[in-house]
């Protein structure tokens, strides 16, 4: 199993975030270390288009590969690396800006894909505990069938609790009911692919739903892929803004906090 961390220097909201210092070392190195702790991962590769990130990883004993600067997504970047890996490889896409990603979460997602030969991709979700996340278009929601396969991903609240909304007067009011809030799941950015499907997927043209919601996993669903969704109890925190960075620093720089 190979974990690949797509790592761009450019970021819309926090430029160069993967090289910003957290607890004495660049952010990307925390993510690299966490991915390496997963028992199902044999190798971790940072895929980057930036010489600074490349050098930081190498100088700290990690493995990095320089990739094209023209990729439109992280999936495209890891696919470039995956082409040189053996057939039948299992590829884990770990987001570079999640330095607290749980190794147990990675293992669960890998095991879910291995356990279901009919699945092309596995990914993760977690319960939503804050009603604001249900309403936020920045938080992607997912719904699944009874077997845990993804039916749809959306930036909108799904499923829509029609009767509860009619009774409460608005979805915001309806979400004050813990039972209603418990219906929602947040999609998190970890993916596990079979190598051959990853190469097929990244060769497909963008689809209507993908472009509408700006969610590339919808391209897979629209083309008939089976995506196994695993619910995890251990949440992860992405670093997208300066506020996120300060929160991460507070967590990782507390001497009593141990990252498992």
Asked whether residue 21 is domain-assigned, the answer is yes
Closest CA to 112 of 101, 125, 100: 125
- Calpha distance 193→203 (Å, rounded): 14
Where does the chain have alpha helices with state H?
27-36, 51-59, 74-82, 103-115, 131-135, 162-168, 171-174, 178-181, 195-202, 208-213, 217-222, 242-252
- For residue 187, the model assigns a pLDDT of 95
CATH no. for residue 52? 3.90.550.10
Structure tokens at 222: 């629209």
Asked whether residue 149 is domain-assigned, the answer is no
Asked whether residue 225 is domain-assigned, the answer is yes
Pair 6, 74: CB distance under 8 Å: yes
Asked whether residue 49 is domain-assigned, the answer is yes
pLDDT in tens, 29-77: 999 999 999 999 999 999 999 999 999 999 999 999 999 888 888 899 9
Asked whether residue 55 is domain-assigned, the answer is yes
Number of domains, the chain = 1
pLDDT in tens, 160-182: 999 999 999 999 999 999 999 99
Quote the mean pLDDT of the chain: 92
């Amino acid at each position: 199993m190979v974990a690949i961390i797509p790592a761009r220097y450019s970021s819309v909201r926090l430029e160069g975030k993967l090289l910003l210092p957290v607890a004495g070392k660049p952010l990307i190195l925390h993510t690299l270390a966490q991915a390496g702790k997963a028992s199902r991962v044999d190798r971790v590769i940072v895929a980057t288009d930036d010489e600074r990130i490349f050098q930081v990883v190498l100088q700290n004993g990690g493995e990095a590969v320089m990739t094209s600067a023209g990729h439109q997504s992280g999936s495209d970047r890891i696919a470039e690396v995956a082409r040189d890996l053996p057939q039948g490889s299992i590829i884990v896409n770990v987001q570079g800006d999640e330095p607290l990603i749980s190794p147990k979460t990675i293992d669960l997602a890998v095991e879910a894909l291995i356990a279901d030969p009919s699945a092309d991709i596995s990914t993760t979700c977690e319960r939503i505990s804050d009603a604001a996340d249900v309403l936020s278009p920045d938080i992607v929601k997912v719904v699944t069938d009874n077997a845990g396969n993804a039916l749809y991903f959306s930036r909108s609240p799904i499923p829509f609790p029609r009767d509860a909304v009619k009774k409460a007067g608005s979805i915001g009011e309806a979400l004050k009911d813990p039972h209603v809030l418990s219906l929602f799941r947040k999609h998190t950015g970890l993916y596990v692919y079979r190598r051959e499907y990853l190469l097929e997927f990244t060769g497909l043209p963008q689809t209507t739903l993908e472009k509408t919601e700006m969610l590339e996993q919808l391209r897979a669903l629209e083309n008939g892929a089976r995506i196994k969704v695993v619910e995890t109890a251990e949440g992860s925190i992405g670093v997208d803004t300066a506020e996120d960075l300060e929160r991460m620093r507070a967590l990782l720089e507390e001497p009593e906090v141990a990252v498992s």
